[in-house]
A and B are shown apart, each in its own frame.
Chain A
């Protein structure tokens, strides 16, 4: 009964969304306040209805209702409760329900936090948001209904894929979706602005928080996924340039560009058309990502739905929304008049460079991702594009961004002298070069990747700190410090996020350049060296988990005779799914992770054992977390909290120079 209620509310939400996308739009065109006013309650009701629907599906999973097909396919009574709940979105239909829940949630937030938006803009934003809801709910109801019942319910389910039964991955999809779908708000604002024919500083201020929020969620979601891959897949890889990873990475890059260009719109009323285009493209890449994941067109393990009917439907959604919005853009972009003037050397130009590099790097990822498809269709060549291509084609852009970033971040608006900025960055530059040379000298005979990454990382972090120091103004230490305390949070956000990027750049280079690997057969009781450590395989035991059998090793790690850690790498077998997994044992350290994996017993006795030292592994995600925290600081900035646009926020300015 509850399941049918969920099904019913989903259909109802679809109807409400139909109203939400049509009446307010007509009202905004006719300047009819009554029609426009329909948008607010419609958005909220739509959200509540979908929430009921989602709760109903969750209920079915939690109570293991095996008359529901989706629950049978993705759950099992022996599964821990966390994964019963996570199972709701660990599949195609359920994840779409989460998608529309978040979509309508953002719409409702626009009602709750958008009190001071002009009536026509708000009505249009909500109408566009509603139209996206209509498209996706139609998709669900027609091709991917999560509420289908089975005539003959089985006794038990077939379990969720064991690899997905992991806390990191339980929360990875919700965050990614919050990011993907959050970009729908930027899209709605962009289309609404085109319909209005007006983009000004206030618009920039409204659209930026939504983009920022989406970007923060994407950052966390991608980091969670990467972290999961690192500890779950059994050999410590953290990024594979897999089509599905790329699908989340492209919107992230574009959203990062959009964040920066929205600042220019807000502060200088320039780059308007470009910002609108980016907002459209960012959501376009989100939809493309959904298409790639859901259609299985570029086959990858993530594509759990390989049904062409679904692929065609999403392609149609993509075509309608991108085709429609880009056509609108082509007709209306010329009414967006740029105001602010700036010289060739200025913050504006630096942000254009940032946008250029981010957008082109996203384009490179895009071309690389779809190239196998294009080559096969157009040139009848079956080829692969993988890690080495992306490393070679993408990395140069990141290097350029890292080089330009500290200088660009400190250039004043409008008109700048590059010499002055470079002078103030002399210390940072000298230190970064010193780090690079020192590391080059220390690691004789290895790749140059390590020193370059370390130098760039240091340059970005030190540059951010120099920026912060300069913002403290003149005077003694105490005066500077108190000024720093009063800086707008957006400035702190900028410093934190940029430092995070520096940390991640360094960590990626470090782990790639300096990881140590050891593969060997080890007999029980045997000791072997790994770098400066000694590892002893003490025992291998059979252990029973709640829904799996485990082969667990006891491995003692010592350094100079002193115990460092006692670790238990496992090999698990999930009988219901008939799937084995490896559970690496990781000893985390500030500067390195020890990564131990137990393998198969060998014919000649002993076990295959893989061990790694992964230098600075946690810094990769630490950097990502710093970026996200920076974003949050920026999001909590006063100017977004005060009545945005209604009155200019009093600026707590400090003389920059």
Chain B
């Protein structure tokens, strides 16, 4: 989907995102580069990762990521390097800090609340349901009947 807008913006050839000349010879480093760039947003496109984007700035970012990796940075250092320059906007996974904690905790909190309400309701229903169960003698009699 995102290619569409991008193509509209760039009206150029649909160049592939990652170009053959960018790929690092070391497969391990390249895999790390791909994993990192899959979480980085192209700063000028609509919701595209720098990996899928054709914008020149994405190419620069992809090359920057690879340069930092070649320089020996670990994954967090590479991401920090980019975030320091372009802001947290480029992170597709907001860090669980400050107000973004709400984003991360909303789901689990809702689950706990819902589970609490659900448990209370079922308990209420269950206590009301008690008298309808079979007594021990009924059970044995039923078992006998079923065997026949």
Contacts and interface: CB of A to CB of B under 8 A. Distances in A.
Interface of A: 161, 163, 229, 233-235, 237, 240, 242-245, 270, 299-302, 338, 340-344, 348-349, 352-353, 356-357, 359-361, 363-364, 367-368, 371, 375, 378-379, 381-389, 392-393, 397, 414-415, 519-521, 571, 578-582, 597, 599-600, 602, 608, 610
Nearest to A363: B110
22 contacts: A229-B1, A235-B16, A240-B2, A342-B129, A343-B129, A353-B118, A359-B114, A360-B107, A363-B110, A367-B107, A371-B94, A375-B103, A382-B88, A384-B47, A384-B91, A384-B92, A387-B38, A388-B38, A415-B133, A519-B16, A578-B11, A580-B14
Given A229-B1, A233-B1, A578-B11, A344 B126 contact: yes
A349 B103 contact: no
B93 A240 contact: no
Contact of A384 (B23, B94, B106): B94
B33 to A, nearest CB: 12
Nearest to A244: B1
Contacts, number: 178
A599 to B, nearest CB: 5
B106 A363 contact: yes
Contact of B47 (A270, A300, A382): A300
Interface of B: 1-5, 7-8, 11-21, 23, 38-39, 41, 46-47, 49, 52, 87-94, 98-100, 103-104, 106-107, 110-111, 114-115, 118, 121-123, 125-126, 128-129, 132-133
Nearest to B30: A519
A378 B3 contact: no
Contacts of B107: 360-361, 363-364, 367, 393, 397
Nearest to A582: B14
A372 B51 CA distance: 21
A356 B126 contact: no
B136 to A, nearest CB: 15
B111 to A, nearest CB: 5
A235 B17 contact: yes
A600 B13 contact: yes
Nearest to B118: A352
Contacts of A608: 15-16, 19-20
Contact of B20 (A245, A360, A520): A520
B110 A360 contact: yes
Contacts of A342: 122, 125-126, 129
B146 to A, nearest CB: 9
A582 B91 CA distance: 28
Contacts of B118: 352-353, 356
B5 A301 contact: yes
Contacts of B132: 341, 414-415
B123 to A, nearest CB: 7
A486 B17 CA distance: 55
Contacts of B121: 352
Contact of B123 (A242, A340, A344): A344
A610 B16 contact: yes
A329 to B, nearest CB: 16
Given A364-B106, A579-B8, A519 B92 contact: no
Among all A-B residue pairs, the 8 with the closest Cβ atoms:
A386-B92, A341-B129, A388-B93, A364-B107, A301-B5, A379-B99, A367-B106, A301-B4
Given A353-B118, A356-B115, A384-B94, A580 B129 contact: no
Given A300-B47, A356-B111, A386-B49, A375 B99 contact: yes
Given A356-B118, A378-B99, A389 B93 contact: yes
A312 B122 CA distance: 42
A389 B125 contact: no
A357 B94 CA distance: 23
Nearest to B94: A383
A581 B14 contact: yes
Given A301-B5, A371-B103, A375-B99, A242 B47 contact: yes
B46 A300 contact: yes
A388 B89 contact: no
Q: Which among A235, A357, A379, A388 has the highest number of chain B CB atoms within 10 Å?
A: A388
Contacts of A300: 1, 5, 46-47
Contacts of A385: 92-94, 103
Contacts of B41: 384, 386
B55 to A, nearest CB: 14
Given A342-B126, A378-B99, A389-B103, 18 more contacts: A229-B1, A245-B1, A341-B126, A348-B125, A349-B122, A360-B107, A367-B106, A379-B98, A382-B88, A383-B100, A384-B47, A385-B94, A386-B39, A386-B93, A388-B93, A393-B107, A582-B3, A608-B19
A301 B99 CA distance: 28
Nearest to B132: A341
A344 B47 CA distance: 45
Contacts of B7: 163, 579-581
Q: Which among B3, B88, B99 has the highest number of chain A CB atoms within 10 Å?
A: B3
Given A233-B1, A599-B16, A299 B46 contact: yes
Q: Which among B2, B94, B118, B128 has the highest number of chain A CB atoms within 10 Å?
A: B94
A387 B122 CA distance: 36
A571 B101 CA distance: 44
Contacts of A361: 107
A382 B125 contact: no
Contacts of B39: 386, 388
A360 B111 contact: yes
Given A341-B128, A384-B89, A388-B93, A521 B14 contact: no
